[in-house]
Amino acid sequence: MAVQTEFSVDSPLLEEAFRATDGCSRLAFEDITLTPQGDVQVLIRAETEICSTLVQNAKTDETVQNSELVGHDLLLTQYASGIGEVQTQRTVVDVGATIVEAVTSGSGWHLTMIFPTVRDYRTLVEECRRNGMCVETQYILTSEQESDAVAALTEKQRQLLSLARQNGYFAIPRECTLQQIADKMGVTQQAVSQLLRRALSNVTDYYLQRQP
């Protein structure tokens, strides 16, 4: 049965990239694929000027075979083989996982992904740890559990949680304020604060009730 997971993982390659891009605040991991030769390539979204900087820095990066802009804010990077972290990216492809969301502000990747089975997720976690990468799992949901959890929320609560995540409200450090979310929703900060507390309470109650 397919499962959705949310987890965080550190990334030496990412930290190196951030050190080389003064002012970079956020990257989004769009996709991982293999070239016909079997090399790992990743598609990353960032601000246009940051993408250009990453392309220039890649020319002197021994871990990168090729890096090029494929859109004004999209960067396609092909990595050299034999690198531990790159092998974990290959595992994502090998187990057939799908990236729902993957963002960072420099302290590692925060990912939401769908795996064919729990065993496939554990395979990725083991590969990460084998290569010295720390993984912290936030949750694992089966398709049935995910539907039940979503059903526990009202439409406005789902909208709020989605907007909060997309804008980095749950990131560490936090990347937006309640007032900014309220402005996007066209309501007051107090209304958003109350709605968020109710949403988190509903989700918490749902999971605690399912504990053995």
What's the pLDDT tens digit per position in 21-57?
Answer: 655 556 788 888 988 888 899 888 877 677 788 888 8
* Cα(189)–Cα(175) distance, integer angstroms: 16
* Cα(208)–Cα(212) distance, integer angstroms: 9
Q: What is the mean pLDDT of residues 133-156?
A: 73
Lookup: tokens for 40: 């790992």
pLDDT in tens, 154-201: 778 888 888 888 888 887 677 888 899 999 999 898 889 888 888 888
Q: Where are the domains positioned within the chain? A: 3-141, 152-209
* Cα(50)–Cα(53) distance, integer angstroms: 5
Tell me how far the alpha carbon of residue 9 is from its chain's centroid. 9
What is the three-class DSSP state of 174? Answer: coil
The DSSP call for residue 117 is S
DSSP 59-85: TT-TTEEEEEEEETTEEEEEEPSS-HH
HSE-CB at 41 with a 13 A cutoff on CA atoms is 19
Instruction: State the pLDDT confidence band at 207, using cuts at 50, 70 and 90.
Output: low
Q: What is the pTM of this model?
A: 0.64
CATH fold of 152-209 reads Arc Repressor Mutant, subunit A (1.10.10)
pLDDT in tens, 75-108: 898 988 888 888 898 999 999 998 888 887 666 7
* Cα(57)–Cα(18) distance, integer angstroms: 11
The answer, yes or no, to whether residue 115 has pLDDT greater than 70, is yes
* Cα(156)–Cα(104) distance, integer angstroms: 26
78 with 40: CB under 8 angstroms?
A: yes
φ and ψ at residue 9, rounded to 5 degrees: -145, 135
Q: Which of 210, 208, 209, 180 lies closest to 196 in space, CA to CA? A: 180
Lookup: tokens for 87: 């092998």
